[in-house]
């Protein structure tokens, strides 16, 4: 489910909930960053050969 959709469907009751949601998003963004970085490195190796 899209994060924005899930956020719009629930009412945030406290600062702790905001912190938890932001923490989850940071984790997802970090995972995506690593995945994209590894993919770019792989594509570079395919273009120029092993480093």
Q: What is the mean pLDDT of the chain?
A: 82
- The Cα 24–Cα 4 span in angstroms is 13
CB within 8 Å of 19: residues ≥ 6 apart = none
Under DSSP, the state recorded for 25 is H
Verdict on whether the full-model pTM lies above 0.75:
no
How many percent of the chain have pLDDT more than 90?
51
Residue-wise pLDDT for 1-51, tens only, equals 455 555 556 788 899 999 999 999 999 999 999 999 999 998 888 887 665
């Amino acid at each position: 489910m899209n994060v924005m959709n899930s956020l719009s469907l629930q009412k945030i009751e406290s600062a702790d909930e905001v912190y938890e949601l932001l923490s989850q998003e940071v984790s997802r963004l970090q995972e995506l960053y690593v995945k994209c970085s590894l993919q770019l490195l792989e594509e570079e190796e395919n273009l120029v050969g092993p480093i």
